[in-house]
């Protein structure tokens, strides 16, 4: 196996472009999935079937179909009905939506793990429903689930290369394009492999720090 | 009203590897990977290779194709066809190899796949150009071809050449690993602005959806793919400018650089087919005409 450092330096400008796109997807996708997941989880607690059944059906559908198929559908089929977004927008939305159906379950577990005494205390103090949620239940529920949410950030990072299928040039896309034009595969793929390790390790450190802050 | 502290703290201490053990693990993995990378033998490097005799013994040759109509594709019945595979079937039969086996892949993966032994010949009507000649060796071209654009119906931007694309600031798309990338860059289009799509169908889709104004490909591929479209059309075929000169491309079969014996045997049979006019008869069903027949050689197209 030959290792060519000049291929690495030729690849680096493309690498930075790809890294920027990957981080954009990761950050925006995480924000969407965290926010949307909470919305789903709260909607599932509305005490009427008219809400819980449709929300349940939609989220189960999204959760049980592959992300790659959803990407293809949003990118190649929706434009037939006149709905066109850029590749990056489509990708961020798809990955955020997909992961929101996982984070929804995480939030649900967190909410259900709040001791029933907390609810009873809120009722005894005659707190309105809004304040019960925002001041009593959610602060406790969210703290419990931060480690689990962190897992999904790492998982999402590793799913970002799927967006290559809809022409988004994230790290793997840039590496593949560079490889095909220069016929050098080892160096770019190794570089992005290491980048994935570094980013996910840094992300897990950041999340652990966040956990520590939230506990105290 | 913080959650119970004790259980959480215990959880954190036991969860996940420590920083040091994680780094040690990464280092160990790296060492394993380096040890596992033994060299793949790239055939007998001396004497022009013995692939032909090995193919004869096996009775089957693996053809790399890119799913491009009409060059090399799998038809509705699931059978391998296209100008290049059909021609390969005839020539390899004469060379004493009875069966061909298709290996479909993306266009951009054809040369890497050939060099990593995933198939024996690229039968995708691949253009011969200097960059590719550094990686593989080519037979003489079996056809010559002009470029053409897929544009929206009526060609609203009036795009007829790569210069037009640059001047009108149109959004340009083409396929992964296509020769058209270099043509657009030579005309002055910024490489980073090119939309790279997986194949011509995705290219047509990009034009129809308005993500691109124009998709460049060979005259034949683009003509075939817009047949199914109501929103897009194809421009008159034209010669791209390469090195300041109008350029005609030729498509050929690619072999691994060590297999010159096989390439030469292939060329001999190809020349016979050209001479007898059988070549046109084989290519005709795929839309090729007398205009696409050529006497260009791989050497001319490789640039020396």
Interface contact flag, A79 B205, Cβ < 8 Å: yes
Cα–Cα distance for residue pair B298/B273, rounded to 1 Å: 17
Average pLDDT over residues A137-152: 92
A/B interface, count of CB pairs below 8 Å: 64
Handedness of CA A185, A187, A188, A191 (dihedral sign): positive
Q: What is the DSSP annotation of B175-194?
A: ETT-THHHHHHHTT--GGGP
Residue B21's CB is within 10 A of a number of other CB atoms, namely 10
**pLDDT tens profile A18-33:** 999 999 999 999 999 9
> Which phi and psi angles does B188 have, rounded to 5°?
110, 10
Residue A5: inside a domain: no
CA A111 to chain centre: 20
Tell me if chain B has a CB within 8 Å of the CB of A123.
no
SS3 B102: strand
Average pLDDT over residues B275-304: 89
Residue A2: inside a domain: no
User: In angstroms, what separates the C-alpha of B209 from chain A's closest C-alpha?
Assistant: 6
Residue A192's CB is within 10 A of a number of other CB atoms, namely 23
Domain boundaries, chain B: 51-144+249-298, 147-246
**pLDDT tens profile A63-86:** 999 999 999 999 999 988 888 889
- Say if residue B302's pLDDT is above 60: yes
Q: Up-side HSE of residue B21: CA atoms within 13 Å toward CB?
A: 4
Tell me if chain B has a CB within 8 Å of the CB of A24.
no
Please, where are the H alpha helices in chain B? 5-14, 19-36, 51-58, 83-94, 110-115, 130-133, 162-167, 180-186, 200-209, 219-226, 260-276, 278-283, 298-302
The CATH number for A181's domain is 1.10.3720.10
CATH 3.40.190.10 fits B147-246, yes or no: yes
Instruction: Look at residue B287 in the predicted model and tell me its pLDDT.
Output: 86
The number of folded domains in chain A is: 1
Residues of chain B contacting residue A180, judged by C-beta atoms under 8 Å apart: 108-109, 112, 176-177
User: In angstroms, what separates the C-alpha of B91 from chain A's closest C-alpha?
Assistant: 29
- C-alpha gyration radius of chain B: 24
**Best to test chain B binding among A3, A90, A167 (most B CBs inside 10 Å):** A167
**pLDDT tens profile B199-210:** 899 999 999 999
Which residues are paired to B73 by β-bridges?
A: B81
Average pLDDT over residues B178-184: 92
- Say if residue B166's pLDDT is above 80: yes
- Say if residue B80's pLDDT is above 50: yes
Domain that holds residue A201: 13-215
> pTM for this one?
0.77
Structure tokens at B288: 């090729």
CATH 3.40.190.10 fits B51-144+249-298, yes or no: yes
CB A113 within 8 A of CB A105: no
- Say if residue B42's pLDDT is above 70: no
Residue A1: inside a domain: no
- Which residue in A201, A211, A215 is closest to B2 by CB distance? A215
Instruction: Look at residue B23 in the predicted model and tell me its pLDDT.
Output: 59
Instruction: Look at residue B6 in the predicted model and tell me its pLDDT.
Output: 44
- Which residue in A79, A165, A211 is closest to B209 by CB distance? A79
Helices (H) and strands (E) in chain B, counts: 13, 15
Cα–Cα distance for residue pair A58/A95, rounded to 1 Å: 15
* Nearest alpha carbon to residue B235 among B174, B148, B293, B300: B148
């Amino acid at each position: 196996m030959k290792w060519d450092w000049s291929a690495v330096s030729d690849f680096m400008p493309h690498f930075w472009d790809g890294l920027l796109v990957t981080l954009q997807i990761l950050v925006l996708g995480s924000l969407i999935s965290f926010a949307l997941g909470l919305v789903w989880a709260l909607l599932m607690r509305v005490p009427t079937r008219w809400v819980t059944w449709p929300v349940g059906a939609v989220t189960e559908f999204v959760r049980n179909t592959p992300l790659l198929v959803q990407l293809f559908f949003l990118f190649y089929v929706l434009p037939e009905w006149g709905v066109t977004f850029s590749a990056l927008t489509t990708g961020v939305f798809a990955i955020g939506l997909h992961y929101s159906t996982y984070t929804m379950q995480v939030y649900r577990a967190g909410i259900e793990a709040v001791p029933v005494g907390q609810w009873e205390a809120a009722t005894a103090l005659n707190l309105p429903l809004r304040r019960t949620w925002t001041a009593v239940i959610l602060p406790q529920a969210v703290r419990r689930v931060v480690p689990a949410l962190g897992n999904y950030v790492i998982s999402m990072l590793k799913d970002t290369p799927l967006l290559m299928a809809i022409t988004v040039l994230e790290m793997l896309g840039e590496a593949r394009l560079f490889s095909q034009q220069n016929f050098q595969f080892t160096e770019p793929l190794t570089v992005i492999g290491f980048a994935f390790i570094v980013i996910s390790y840094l992300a897990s450190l950041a999340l652990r720090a966040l956990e520590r802050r939230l506990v105290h | 009203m913080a959650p119970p502290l004790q259980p959480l703290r215990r959880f954190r201490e036991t969860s996940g590897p420590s920083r040091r053990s994680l780094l040690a693990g990464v280092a160990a993995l790296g060492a394993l990977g380096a040890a596992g990378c033994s060299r793949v033998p790239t055939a007998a490097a001396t004497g022009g290779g013995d692939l032909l005799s090995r193919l004869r013994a096996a009775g089957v040759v693996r053809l790399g194709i890119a799913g491009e109509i009409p060059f090399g594709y799998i038809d509705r019945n699931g059978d391998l066809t296209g100008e290049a595979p059909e021609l390969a079937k005839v020539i390899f039969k004469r060379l004493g190899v009875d069966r061909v086996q298709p290996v479909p892949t993306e266009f951009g993966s054809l040369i890497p796949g050939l060099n990593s032994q995933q198939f024996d010949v690229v039968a995708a009507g691949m253009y011969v150009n200097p960059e590719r000649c550094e990686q593989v060796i080519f037979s003489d071209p079996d056809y010559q071809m002009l470029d053409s654009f897929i544009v929206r119906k009526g060609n609203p931007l009036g795009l007829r050449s790569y210069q037009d694309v640059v001047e009108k600031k149109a959004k340009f798309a083409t396929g992964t690993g296509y020769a058209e990338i270099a043509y657009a860059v030579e005309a002055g289009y910024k490489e980073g602005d090119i939309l790279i799509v997986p194949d011509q169908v995705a290219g047509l889709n990009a034009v129809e959806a308005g993500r691109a104004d124009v998709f460049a490909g060979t005259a034949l591929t683009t003509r075939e793919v817009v047949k199914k479209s109501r929103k897009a059309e194809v421009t008159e075929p034209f010669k791209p400018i390469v090195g300041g000169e109008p350029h005609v491309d030729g498509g050929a079969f690619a072999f691994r650089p060590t297999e010159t014996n096989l390439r030469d045997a292939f060329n001999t049979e190809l020349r016979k087919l050209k001479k007898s006019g059988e070549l046109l008869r084989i290519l005709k069903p795929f839309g090729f005409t007398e205009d696409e027949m050529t006497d260009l050689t791989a050497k001319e197209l490789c640039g020396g």
